[in-house]
Structure 1
Amino acid sequence: MSDPSAYVRTREKGARDTRYPEVPEALAVPVYDNHAHLEIEDGDDPLTLTDQLDRAAAVGVLGVVQAGGDIESSRWSAWAASSDPRVLAAVAIHPNEAPRYREAGRLDEAIAVIDELAAQPRVRAIGETGLDFFRTDSDGIPAQHESFEAHIALAKKHSVAMQIHDRDAHDAVLETLSRVGAPDRTVFHCFSGDEAMARIAADRGYWLSFAGNVTFKNAQNLRDALKVTPLERLLVETDAPFLTPTPHRGRPNAPYLIPVTVRFMAAELGVELDVLCARLAANTLEVYGRF
């Protein structure tokens, strides 16, 4: 694609409520959205990149780490980060995309593109990469492993963070990181493990990023994991336009809804809201550097 800014994806509406939720009360101490997909249009009246960032800033969300998952979205992420100082980029081939690139004989080419993009100064992470045993069958797992290990090498080569996608692959992800050696700044995007895994990840010095699904009624495992994660290992994200927090579950998600999740986290942890916000912001800057 000659013009990355022209890239856009549209989320299927289906039968869900596609109105953007009302704007929450602003945070007094600002934070950052650690992971979002702002190239995906959603809702009855899709928000532009500038709309997303302006609405977020108005409620105390100062910046967004925009994550890629294939060549096109990674190029868009790098473009967005170069276009607005409120955006940093993460670039990668998503684990569910890796088998498709391998089948087409293009996985090496795709990883080479990620390598090139990662050299840009506002690309601060390799992600999202990892393993997903939920959507990929056994035939695709070798390509996922190959891609994951190549991405780990890229994060080390470029001295940037790594954002991990881990779905139904907890043991395999932890084993890979132990065997290959994790990058210095490793983040479990949208952490999906339990209390035991959270303790292991934190003990190893990884960061755990919690999204809106920590508020879901059926996500007690995430709340248990949250409570045992040291504050200095916590991050927060939207994974927008997905995982909209309760009470807006199913509706379009966006960085301006981070305050809903942060307030929930503070209540669960029994920590003052401003204290948690300050810690989350400091952690984000430690992982990704200044915006």
Structure 2
Amino acid sequence: MADRAYPPLPETLKVPVYDDHTHIDPYSGPGWFGEEEASGDGHGPLDWREQLDRASVAGVKGVVQVGTDVESSRWSADHAAIDPRMLAAVAIHPNDAAVLEAEGGLDDALAVIEGLASRPRVRAIGETGLDYYRTGEDGLAAQLRSFEAHIDIARRHGLALQIHDRDAHVEVVDTLLRVGAPDRTVFHCFSGDAGLATLATSHGWYLSFAGTVTFKTAHDLRAALRVTPRDRILVETDAPWLAPAPVRGRPNAPYLVPHTLRFMAEVLETDPSMLAAQIASNTEAVYGSWTDDAPERWGR
């Protein structure tokens, strides 16, 4: 039986960093754990405050909490407004976009995202993009329409864009170049190779590496990391999924970022504190300050 308990805290980072992409809302955790598993015993999902408290102890000083539908996006915006350790990204996930289009509700959902985009601690539109792994041929047109709409919202509101790209590298890049990518565009949970990394960073886009970079078979990801300019590297968990080695298969959380960051430092043959300082600076360049709500401070 799989171990569903949260892993122990890793050694605290000497230089604090941010989790570029996480899901600590109540809509994401139960889907990982299963409804039969109750919280409070170390097995069920942690409360969002517990998540952030553990992250602070581990040297993760802030997170970007990411919405994937109307409910989680509203939750993200509302809770980022009350906790200085959290910023929000809001969007309709490409797989949800296909379902909503079939039900006739995509335009209403996009209108909600538009409204949330103006809130001061909403700093990104995402996760949005294209997913050719789960959605069938009938839903791809809806994904593309939704992706283009999200790009437009990000550009008009001066926000960063967090991209979900699964088995759709060529189509995602083509769309960004055709429509016009926002100034700060992030490939969340980057899944490409060195060629895509070189192409993306040539346009000034950022690559966010998750626990997948630590997996034994992830040779292409590590090659991509090596060719990525240091000022375009971010780190994330995509919690509650994709826990890094050595705790792969267990529930992920922002406090586990140190495992991924230290592994990345080994791949890059650099000091973890130097890499953490660079990534923290990169993250603030994308999203602005976690402690300043003045829009002019992040370029709107």
* 2:259 matched residue in structure 1: 260
With structure 2 as the length reference, what TM-score do the two structures score? 0.91
Instruction: For 2:177, give the aligned amino acid.
Output: S
Mapped to 1, the partners of 2:72 and 2:19 lie a distance apart of 18
* 2:297 matched residue in structure 1: none
Structure 1 residues without counterparts, runs of 5 or longer:
1-14
* 1:113 matched residue in structure 2: 112
* 1:29 matched residue in structure 2: 15
Structure 2 residues without counterparts, runs of 5 or longer:
34-41, 291-300
Q: Secondary structure at the match of 1:83?
A: coil
Superposition map of 1:153-232 within 5 A: 153-232=152-231
* 1:250 matched residue in structure 2: 249
* 1:17 matched residue in structure 2: 3
Shift, 1:46, TM fit: 2.5
Runs of 4+ aligned structure 1 residues displaced above 6 Å come to none
Instruction: For 1:211, give the aligned amino acid.
Output: A
Mapped to 1, the partners of 2:188 and 2:272 lie a distance apart of 22
Mapped to 2, the partners of 1:146 and 1:102 lie a distance apart of 10
Q: Secondary structure at the match of 1:187?
A: strand
C-alpha distance after superposition, 1:71-98 (max 9, x if no partner) = 0110111111012110000000000000
Q: Secondary structure at the match of 2:19?
A: strand
Superposition map of 1:79-158 within 5 A: 79-158=78-157
Mapped to 1, the partners of 2:244 and 2:255 lie a distance apart of 12
RMSD: 0.8
Shift, 1:166, TM fit: 0.1
Mapped to 1, the partners of 2:200 and 2:285 lie a distance apart of 17
> Percent same amino acid at aligned positions?
61
Shift, 1:126, TM fit: 0.1
Shift, 1:16, TM fit: 2.4
Q: Secondary structure at the match of 2:81?
A: helix
Q: Secondary structure at the match of 1:124?
A: strand
* 2:37 matched residue in structure 1: none
Instruction: For 1:212, give the aligned amino acid.
Output: G
Shift, 1:45, TM fit: 3.8
Shift, 1:17, TM fit: 1.2
Instruction: For 1:16, give the aligned amino acid.
Output: A
Mapped to 2, the partners of 1:250 and 1:45 lie a distance apart of 14
Mapped to 2, the partners of 1:115 and 1:233 lie a distance apart of 27
